[in-house]
Amino acid sequence: MRTITSVVNIKNIKGKRVIVRAELNVPIKNGRVADDFRIRKAVQTILYLKKRGARVIVIGHIGREGKETLKPVARAMGRFVNIGFAPYSADSKKARDVVDAMKNGTVIMLENLRRDSREKENDRAFARAIAALGDVYVNDAFSVSHRTHASIVGVPKLLPSYAGLLFEDEVRHLSLALSPKHPFLFILGGAKFETKLPLIKKYVEIADTVFVGGALANDFFRYQGCDVGKSTAEKPTFSLARLEKRRNLLLPEDVVVKGKGGVSTKEPCDIAHSDTIVDAGAKSISTLLPLIARARFILMNGPLGNYEEGFDGATKEILKQVAKSKALSIIGGGDTVALVTKAKMEKRFSFVSTGGGAMLAFLAKGTLRGIEALKNK
């Protein structure tokens, strides 16, 4: 069985041009990086290569449409490693000239890959242009490795390819959920029910308890015949009959709602048509507390409330309790991780993943397109 090969196995690394596909998609406010969690995670592989005399070419993306620049990301990364920014497309002559002029032990970052539509199209010519810049390729962008993009699956076909230190760390920790210690508690929040339904179906068979909160719970409430008012919920194109019967699947017993009379707590089926569910209630939190205390393995992905509108009370409280527990704990999902980093709680969990969708895809399938691309070398 083929496995991924670590960056530490690159031989004769000094002087080699190493392309590092890093995770650089971070929030920008007023031209500055608002949360450097992913940058701090990405630096470890870059520093490893730099210290061994490699010529490190960092590539990545920011934003969905490719309109943003990576310049503020390079500036923020500069606090941890001496790095230059070359505002050129990876397939341009200017980029090639910059790379040709690099000295051993130096690092540069090229411009946002998604400024060229061929990145998301997994265009072969674009992949060849990227590959031409280096001697070796390293994927350290686990969080986008569920995508079939040129820099994720195209380039590995053309160069000796390795997994970065962060990439390895993600795979190693998330693999623990595939054969976990018990009792195993899985707390799943956020939205995108149809995307996460296969994950719920899988983990009710693996975990001792699966608690479904956030907007995901609204779909269960609606399926049960409750009026979810103006709450986020998908149109029911799926059957939940078999899941509903599972005793290890838990939903919020009470919810915080925002309605005409302000913010209040109600039982799920007592919601008015004008109400919006915005968080899990106190009873729901109380139900989770003994489960957290008993668990040996806890996996949490996604907020239990409307994080964007500031309803993060239940998520914060659950995170505090998980941090206090003796369980091996893994936290993921963009909004959840944002709460963790804002509260400076990263070191209180066993592992905090950079992956959102990639984490969920890996948990569902046990692999990712980016992993398979590295295996096929």
Give me the pLDDT at residue 223, please.
87
| CATH topology for the 7-171+368-375 domain | Rossmann fold (3.40.50)
Give me the pLDDT at residue 238, please.
67
From first to last of its 377 residues, the chain has per-residue pLDDT tens of 468 999 999 999 999 999 999 999 999 999 999 999 999 999 999 999 999 999 999 999 999 888 999 999 999 999 999 999 999 999 999 999 999 999 999 999 999 999 999 999 999 999 999 999 999 999 999 999 999 999 999 999 999 999 999 999 999 999 999 999 999 999 999 988 888 988 999 999 999 999 999 999 999 998 888 999 999 888 766 678 778 778 899 999 999 999 888 999 999 999 999 999 999 999 999 999 999 999 999 999 999 999 989 999 999 999 999 999 999 999 999 899 999 999 999 999 999 999 889 999 999 999 999 999 999 76
Domains 7-171+368-375 and 179-343 share a fold: yes
Q: Domain 179-343: give its CATH code.
A: 3.40.50.1260
Give me the pLDDT at residue 1, please.
45
What lies within 8 Å, CB to CB, of 332 at 6+ separation is 300, 301, 352, 353, 355, 356, 359
Domain ranges of the chain: 7-171+368-375, 179-343
Give me the pLDDT at residue 356, please.
87
